[in-house]
């Protein structure tokens, strides 16, 4: 290879690395895996977002806002195919009512992650719709960080 071809070749390699580095730096936000299904929060029903699990608590963030539940304030966490009657019958200020949500087509797959917690002297409820494949890694992380168990319907293994 001549000196001129070598410089041109190296120039193309450098340009390709620069473009690749720029594209890699543009990290896309995680695809929303959770949807607000029901609860006492001022979020629009169906608002798609992500759940953050940190050392202090859980935070659901979507375009309509965010909800944080410190672990110390959580009374109940469930992951079920429907919203339990215990939660549906709670006397709280529902903004999106969790009417009976039977499993789709008789499916025995968990879909609803429910968190009941206290904030500002009131009981608050957050019901998120999430597929089992997306929820599996969260269950282990929540158990470790919250030092509380998520009640999971027994017919599904995680």
Residue-averaged pLDDT of the chain? 82
CA–CA separation, 2 vs 10, rounded Å?
12
Which residues share a beta bridge with 76?
A: 116
The tens digit of pLDDT for each residue in 12-53 reads 555 454 545 544 445 565 688 999 999 999 999 999 999 999
Kindly list the domain boundaries of the chain, sorted by start residue: 1-29, 34-152
Contacts 24+ apart (CB under 8 A), 152-155: 152/78, 152/79, 152/80, 152/110, 153/79, 153/80, 153/81, 153/108, 153/110, 155/108
CATH match for 34-152 among 2.30.29.30, 3.90.10.10, 2.40.50.360, 3.40.50.720: 2.30.29.30
Model's pTM, two decimal places? 0.76
């Amino acid at each position: 290879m001549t000196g001129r071809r070598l410089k041109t070749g190296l120039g193309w390699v450098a340009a390709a690395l620069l473009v690749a580095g720029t594209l890699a730096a543009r990290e896309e936000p995680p695809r929303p895996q959770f949807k607000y299904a029901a609860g006492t929060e001022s979020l629009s029903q169906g608002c798609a977002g992500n759940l953050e699990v940190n050392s202090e608590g859980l935070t659901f963030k979507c375009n309509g806002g965010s909800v944080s539940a410190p672990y110390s304030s959580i009374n109940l966490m469930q992951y079920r195919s429907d919203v339990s009657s215990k939660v549906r019958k709670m006397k709280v200020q529902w903004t999106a009512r969790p009417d009976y949500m039977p499993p789709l087509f008789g499916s025995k797959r968990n879909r609803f992650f429910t968190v009941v917690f206290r904030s500002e002297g009131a009981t608050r409820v957050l019901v998120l719709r999430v597929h089992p494949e997306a929820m599996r890694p969260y269950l282990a992380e929540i158990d470790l960080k919250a030092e509380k168990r998520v009640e999971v319907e027994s017919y599904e293994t995680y």
